[in-house]
Structure 1
Amino acid sequence: MTHPALIPGIGVEDTPRVFSTNWAVFGIAGVLVLGVVVWGFLAPDSISAAGAASLGWVTDNFGWLFSLLAIATIGFMFVVGYGRTGGIRLGADDESPEFSTVSWIAMLFSAGMGIGLLFWGPAEPLAYFTDVPPGFTAEPGSRDAMLDALAQSILHWGPMAWAFYALVGGAIAYAAYRRGRAPLISAIFRPIFGERTEGWIGAVIDVFAIIVTLFGTGVTLGMGTLQIASGVEVVTGIGPLGNAGLIVIITILTAAFVVSAVSGIKRGIRALSNINMVIAAVIGVFIFIAGPTLFLLNMIPASVSAFFGELWTMLLRNPAQGNDAAAFMASWTNYYWAWWISWTPFVGMFIAKISRGRTLREFVTVVIVVPSIVCIVWFGIMGGTTMLFESQGSGIADAGSPEAILFAVFGALPFGVVLSVLAMISIILFFVTSADSAAIVMGSMSQRGKPEPSTWVTITWGVLLGAAALALLLAGG
């Protein structure tokens, strides 16, 4: 008997499926999101307390599950990509990819991590360098602590994070472009629930996916807004912008990403992603050359060795090892796993859209391996430079907030103001590409997987996304 995966594929557009608006999904998700936004504006202290309590409950009761999921997911994806199924194409057997490999990778980064790389690139390794995570034996501030800090950062941002995206993205692409199902989160549950995924069970899944997408993306957009505000303060020399400045920034950027989203993936997101990849590369290469080049040439390969050498120490860290380990897992590792999982509906659907025509082997290689290599190099350059400057007495840590550390590092380099301006442009473009990708995906989910959702639906979700990011910011986190 022929395995179903080996049967010649059929795309969803070759089926009689009608992509009409699912008013139940659109209405219920919209009302729930709007309710949370209003709650955030009217009672920020209340929603902040509720969020903290919810996060604490989840990490206390399900923290163990996050690490288990991370290990199982990456193991499964490597088997799928490099085993006997690796040659299966996400589409018809003779189908060619729609986007070039360079554009494909650029859009992956812009949608998948974007702002976080600039926000946490220097700040996260510095945090571990000055306060070594439990389980490591290095002295804070030592060269060994630098390697441990980079190893821990690679764990959070490397292959395991991208494996979550690959799992959902690959499942949706396979279902939609090879099995003729709707490109929806609910569609990948068809083997479990059968035809009921076309009914109320599917609607519940898609409502949940929209809510997770919107607020997961909103957190990242809030970080981007904080960093843009910090950059404006540094470059212009004006005082703290306050809430009024944050409102102006989010309003302007929301308008920008809605326009980009309405223009569609091919024109808007691809163009901005390609531009942004060039800007980010210029920043990274300049720091590498103008910064401690020889130090980084030694530190980056050594960080990979440290990652594999300390992998089990990091993965097996758990609350049973004491309060410090429990606090670290809750604040960092489990929080990251939850964050990546919250992004999987959005990023997974977006990756599926841009990966059509690729084989599973290509898919796993480019979605997991290539981004992981780039993350290793990026954190090595940004984090390594930051930690070295701190060890030499530059006082980078005195900048305080994570969003300010990036600009403190630039201040210690030649042409710091130029780098700060480029970084703000990159953050803005990451903000726009992440948000417009999310708006398109949420629009698609509320219109039964419509490849190009209606303009009014995309605009609605874009406005709600901007409002949610602002509400979360004003609530204090």
Structure 2
Amino acid sequence: MKKTTNIFWISLIIGVFFVLWGVVTPDNLIRVMTTVQSYLLDRFGWFYEYTATFFLIFSLLLAFSRFGNIKLGKQDEKPEFSTPSWFAMLFGAGMGIGLLFYGVSEPISHYANPPFGKSQTTESAKIGLQYTYLHWGFHAWAIYAVVALALAYYKFRKNSPGLMSATLYPLLGNKVNGPIGYIVDIVSVFATVFGVAASLGLGAAQINSGLHYLLGLPINFKVQLIIIIITTFLFITSAATGVSKGIKYLSNINMILAVILFLSILFIGPSQYLIELFTTTFGAYLQNLPSMGLRFAPFNSQHNQWVKDWTIFYWAWWISWTPFVGTFIARVSKGRTVREFIIGVLIVPSLVCSLWFGVMGGTGIYYDFIKGLDVAKQSLETSLFFVLQQMPFGGLLSVLSVILIMIFFVTSADSATFVLGMQTTNGSLNPPFLVTFTWGIILAAVSAILLWTGGLVGMQAAIIVSALPLAIILLFMCYGLVKSFRQEYSTIKEKKQYQNSVKTPKQKTS
């Protein structure tokens, strides 16, 4: 592995140590991580909320500022991928499994246990969808957009390595090539590992639930481990083919299947009800976006805990995913302008995610609130399949959902192994197969460890812990990006002034 760096070996040693820790003393691992998680949430919960809101404001200001016409690449370069393929890859990497896992379960969970007010009422149904839009909407994609923008700008405009440390060059200079840069990249690697491993764990649990409904398989860790092993083989094979082949084709297939499932539920289900519910709740989300994004409940400990368990967890999750998703989005966004990039990454996916949750979650609420079925008592893993079984062609839709979850699993994981390979081979756009293979094994092992030791609780703990230092790095990255944009804008302005001042003799006499 000639292209490997010290970052690869250091990160690999730490990753192996974590896996061995989970195997040898799983109780100690989960106890330590949950203790640290509780401390961070109690002391720094506000920091996650402020950071997420800052990224949203920052991205919008950049999009509509004088910097919007700066190109992510050379001035004459055109986008490498078509817009439909670009959007498909954004979804495949950016949200993936979570759309299926939480599509029904999160709105129903908020409906049954709302952030405030009485449960299982008309008001809690509306609030449940509004907060789901919040968690998967503009804030989430703004976090991705800012990091991906910085990585794409420095990689394709400045010819820097596609590393998180490279985005701090305007602040640190050549120090990014030393110990400080190593720390930044290692933090980014492990935020990626924990963030993606959590998603893979959710995917394995939900595939298990789907197979339970379809085939009667038991829901337990052994079945989930077998699922992880099989899908690991699939995503490593896909990652070996590169972005332009396996990942691109699977992402396009994913998008087609997701659209089929979405439209099927919309038109087979209570269409008029879903459209009216989405319109009402999405309008309320836009109206209350600032207050929802900065909401705490300091006078009610139960409501305040809800914010920590859901909203802050999501902000930490998206932050932990930024090295992975940011690197991947940057990789497929060469040739787009800053304005086109931010609008594409921020606005369109947020609207589509909201539509998705409006239809999926709205269907779950319909069957519970209107039809009287106890959807709210289902677990997070089983609620989707419980709802599908109540619908016409429920078995067929369940099969489609399992296939879609598996492909989402593969696209998220193979994108992650590709990105981890980039991060640990000095930003190589074609990391060696042995490197991506190694990270695929580490991802699968960490995912299995988190499922075995603590399930969703263990995953949340890993995400919260890894996201805090990374969030601090991202804030410095934003400052450096603005500094670079100002320098470039000044250079472009001076060049234009010089070109206008230098006229040919013919122009002077005219």
> Do the structures match in fold with TM over 0.5?
yes
Task: Tell me the residue number matched to 1:405.
Answer: 383
Gaps (5+ residues) in structure 1? 1-18
- The answer (yes or no) to whether the contact 1:123–1:383 under 8 Å persists in 2 is yes
Task: Tell me the residue number matched to 2:189.
Answer: 210
Does the residue aligned with 1:212 lie in a helix, a strand or coil?
A: helix
- The answer (yes or no) to whether the contact 1:212–1:343 under 8 Å persists in 2 is yes
Task: Tell me the residue number matched to 2:472.
Answer: none
Structure number with larger C-alpha Rg:
2
Between 450-459 and 302-311, report the one with greater CA deviation: 302-311
CA distance in 1: counterparts of 2:302 and 2:243, whole angstroms: 45
**How far does the alpha carbon of each residue in 1:313-339 deviate from its partner, in whole angstroms, 9 at most, with x for none?**
423422523202321121001110000
- The answer (yes or no) to whether the contact 1:173–1:353 under 8 Å persists in 2 is yes
CA distance in 2: counterparts of 1:93 and 1:194, whole angstroms: 25
CA 380–241 in structure 1, closer or farther in 2 if over 3 Å, else same = closer
Does the residue aligned with 2:80 lie in a helix, a strand or coil?
A: coil
- The answer (yes or no) to whether the contact 1:41–1:474 under 8 Å persists in 2 is no
Could you tell me how far 1:303 is from its partner in structure 2?
1.2
**How far does the alpha carbon of each residue in 1:9-63 deviate from its partner, in whole angstroms, 9 at most, with x for none?**
xxxxxxxxxx963432111100111111111122222211122112111111111
- The answer (yes or no) to whether the contact 2:53–2:294 under 8 Å persists in 1 is no
**How far does the alpha carbon of each residue in 1:156-185 deviate from its partner, in whole angstroms, 9 at most, with x for none?**
000100000001100010011111211110
- The answer (yes or no) to whether the contact 2:5–2:424 under 8 Å persists in 1 is yes
CA 161–185 in structure 1, closer or farther in 2 if over 3 Å, else same = same
Task: Tell me the residue number matched to 1:151.
Answer: 130
* Letter in structure 1 aligned against 2:138: P
CA distance in 2: counterparts of 1:151 and 1:250, whole angstroms: 33
Task: Tell me the residue number matched to 1:288.
Answer: 266
Could you tell me how far 1:149 is from its partner in structure 2?
1.0
- The answer (yes or no) to whether the contact 2:154–2:166 under 8 Å persists in 1 is yes
Identity among equivalent pairs (%)? 41
Could you tell me how far 1:431 is from its partner in structure 2?
0.6
CA distance in 1: counterparts of 2:186 and 2:199, whole angstroms: 21
Task: Tell me the residue number matched to 1:54.
Answer: 36
CA distance in 1: counterparts of 2:102 and 2:241, whole angstroms: 30
CA distance in 1: counterparts of 2:126 and 2:314, whole angstroms: 20
Alignment partner of 1:123 is 2:102:
no
* Letter in structure 2 aligned against 1:331: D
- The answer (yes or no) to whether the contact 2:86–2:332 under 8 Å persists in 1 is yes
CA distance in 2: counterparts of 1:327 and 1:194, whole angstroms: 42
Task: Tell me the residue number matched to 1:439.
Answer: 417
Task: Tell me the residue number matched to 2:438.
Answer: 460
Could you tell me how far 1:366 is from its partner in structure 2?
1.1
Task: Tell me the residue number matched to 2:475.
Answer: none
CA distance in 2: counterparts of 1:335 and 1:468, whole angstroms: 19
Alignment partner of 1:352 is 2:334:
no
Task: Tell me the residue number matched to 1:367.
Answer: 345
CA distance in 2: counterparts of 1:24 and 1:57, whole angstroms: 32
Does the residue aligned with 1:85 lie in a helix, a strand or coil?
A: helix
Alpha carbon RMSD of aligned pairs, Å? 1.3
CA distance in 1: counterparts of 2:213 and 2:377, whole angstroms: 15
1:190-205 correspondence runs (5 A): 190-205=169-184
Alignment partner of 1:390 is 2:368:
yes
CA distance in 1: counterparts of 2:65 and 2:91, whole angstroms: 26
Task: Tell me the residue number matched to 2:309.
Answer: 331
Could you tell me how far 1:396 is from its partner in structure 2?
1.4
- The answer (yes or no) to whether the contact 1:317–1:325 under 8 Å persists in 2 is no
Task: Tell me the residue number matched to 2:255.
Answer: 277
Which residue of 443, 450, 453 maps to 2:428?
Answer: 450
Count of residue correspondences: 454
TM-score (norm 2): 0.87
- The answer (yes or no) to whether the contact 2:126–2:281 under 8 Å persists in 1 is yes
Does the residue aligned with 2:150 lie in a helix, a strand or coil?
A: helix
- The answer (yes or no) to whether the contact 2:50–2:294 under 8 Å persists in 1 is no
CA distance in 2: counterparts of 1:133 and 1:418, whole angstroms: 35
Task: Tell me the residue number matched to 1:142.
Answer: 121
Task: Tell me the residue number matched to 1:11.
Answer: none
**How far does the alpha carbon of each residue in 1:189-214 deviate from its partner, in whole angstroms, 9 at most, with x for none?**
11111101122221221111111111
**How far does the alpha carbon of each residue in 1:348-394 deviate from its partner, in whole angstroms, 9 at most, with x for none?**
01110001111111111110100001011001000111011101211
Query: Following TM superposition, where does structure 1 have runs of at least 4 consecutive aligned residues deviating by more than 6 angstroms?
Result: none
- The answer (yes or no) to whether the contact 1:283–1:419 under 8 Å persists in 2 is yes
CA distance in 1: counterparts of 2:128 and 2:377, whole angstroms: 18
* Letter in structure 2 aligned against 1:305: G
Which residue of 248, 270, 288 maps to 2:226?
Answer: 248
CA distance in 1: counterparts of 2:114 and 2:446, whole angstroms: 34
CA distance in 2: counterparts of 1:277 and 1:303, whole angstroms: 25
Task: Tell me the residue number matched to 1:15.
Answer: none
